[in-house]
Amino acid sequence: MKLHAITFGCQMNEADSEEMALPLLLRGYQTTSELSEADAVLVNTCTVREHAEHRAVSRIGRLRAWKAARPGRLLIVAGCAAERLGEALRRKFPFVDLVVGARSIEDYPALLDAVLEGRPVTAAGAAPAPSGYVTVMRGCNYACAYCIVPSVRGRESHLPFERILRQARERAERGSREIFLLGQTVNSWKDSAAGKDFSDLLRAVGTLPGVGRVRFMSPHPVFLDERLSAAMAETPAAAPHLHLPAQSGSDRILQEMRRGHTRAQYLSKVRRLREAVPGLHLTTDFIVGFPGETEEDFRQTLSLAEECGAGSAYCSKFSPREGTLAASLEGQLEEAAKEERLARLLAFFEARQREVLEGFRGRRVQVLLETPDTGRTEHNLCARLAEPRRAGELVEALVCGCTRLGLKCSAVP
C-alpha cells in the first residue's frame, strides 16, 4: 500500500503531514512520490495566502479522476483550508473520505481508524527523513494585521515538554539526524507545569542520543531573550542559524502591522545573539507594500536589511487577505508600486547572498544530506557534495566553491 502526500504552505504543514502520515505508515503503507501508484493521498492545505487555498482546492478537484480509477483508494484532506472551508469542502467534493481541520489534528488518528475500520495493521517500512519535524505549539496569540493564522488556528496551545521530547527521540531513533522544532511563535513555548521554557527545550532536544542538529521555526523577535541566546551558544547541536522575521524596517509600519516589536528592538536582539553565537547566519522575512507604506518607509526596510546583516530573506508583496485587518486598511498600494519595491529588495538580497556564499570558501561545514549529493549546512545553506553518500548522513565537508544558490563541497576524510 502506498501513500502520496501533497503539502501546501509552511513548514508547520510539512510537520503536520509527517505526523499524519505516521498512522498509515504503521499500517504498512509506504510513501511514494508517484500519484498514480498511490492507494492513499493526503492533501494538507494552507490558507495563509488566498492563492495557496485556491491551489489546494483545485488540486482536490483534480483528484476526482485518481479516486475513481480504483475502488478503495483513500483521500484525506487536512490543514488550515480544511478547517476554514470544512463543510463546504465535503459538499463540493463528496469523494473525499476524510476532512480534518487544523484544530482537530489531535483527533486525527481516531478519525482515521474509523475510516479504515477492519483493515489489518502491519509494521512500518518507511525510509527515515533527514529532518524530523516536531510541532511544539499550535495557534498564535498575536494578531498581526496581515495574517489569517490566529483566526484559523486559534490561540496558542503548547504541547507538554515530555511529549515533545518523546516525539523528538522517536524521530531520532527512526534515523533523523536533525530535529526541527516548529510553532507559529515557536520560542514563546513553555510548559509551566514542568517549569520549562523554550531554551530548556532546545538544550534537552539537542542532547538526545543521535541528534546532530536542532533548528526551530518561526521564532518571534519578542521572545528572543538572553536565555535563548545562551542555550543556542551552549548547545553544540543547536544550528548557528536563525530565521527571524522582521517584516518591515519602519516603526510606523511595524506598528500598523501590530508586530509587537520596533526596529531598534529587532536590531538589538540580533546584535546580542551574534555576541553569544559568533558566525550566526541570520535570515528573515519582509513584506513590502503594506497599506500606507511610503517610499521613506520602504527605504527603512532596505536599511534594516543591510544593518541586520541577514544573508537572505523571504520577501513578498503585501496581498490583502479576506478576514484580516490589513485587507480593509486605507492606503492600499498599486500593484506596480509593490512590484517595483519588491524588485529592489530582491536585488539587494541577491547580491547579499552571493557575498555570504563567497565568504564560506575554504571553510569547514557539516552537510546534512537530503539526497545522496545535496543537502544543507548548519547555516542552512544549500550544498552539493562531490562524493555521493547515503541520504540522511551528516557529513563533514570543505567548501571548495560556490554557485549562485549554494556551496560546492568535498567530504573531509
Residues in contact with ligand SF4 by CB under 6 A are 140, 142-144, 147, 149-150, 184-185, 220
Instruction: Supply the minimum distance, in Å, between the C-beta of residue 389 and ligand SF4.
Output: 37
Taking the complex as a whole, how short is the minimal distance between the CB of residue 153 and ligand SF4, in angstroms? Answer: 8
CB-nearer residue toward ligand SF4: 219 or 392: 219
Report the half-sphere exposure of 102 (CA within 13 A, side-chain side). Answer: 32
The amino acid that residue 177 corresponds to is: R
Name the residue with cell 553565537.
277
Query: By the 8 A CB rule, do 199 and 277 touch?
Result: no
Looking at the Cβ atoms of 46 and 409, the one nearer to ligand SF4 is: 46
Phi and psi (nearest 5°) for 80?
-65, -40
Minimum distance, C-beta of residue 217 to ligand SF4, in the bound complex (Å): 11
In order of 196, 267, 308, 352, 355, the CA distances from 227 in angstroms are: 12, 17, 21, 30, 31
Query: Which of residues 220 and 281 has its CB atom nearest to ligand SF4 in the complex?
Result: 220
CB nearer to ligand SF4: pick between 23 and 150: 150
Give the residue with the Cβ less far from ligand SF4, 184 or 312.
Answer: 184
User: Do the Cβ atoms of 31 and 123 come closer than 8 Å?
Assistant: no
Task: Report in angstroms how near the CB of residue 360 gets to ligand SF4 at its nearest.
Answer: 30
Shortest Cβ distance from residue 391 to ligand SF4 (Å)? 32
Nearest to 214 by CA among 191, 190, 234: 234
Using the minimum distance from each CB to ligand SF4, give the nearer residue, 20 or 144.
144
What residues contact residue 336 under an 8 Å CB cut-off, 6+ apart? none
* Nearest distance, CB of residue 149 and ligand SF4, angstroms: 4
The least CB distance from residue 46 to ligand SF4, in Å, is 12
Q: Nearer to ligand SF4 by C-beta: 217 or 369?
A: 217
Contacts of 211 (CB under 8 A, 6+ apart): 168, 172, 177, 178, 179, 205, 237
Residue carrying the nine cell digits 552571493: 354
C-alpha grid cell, residue 141:
496569540
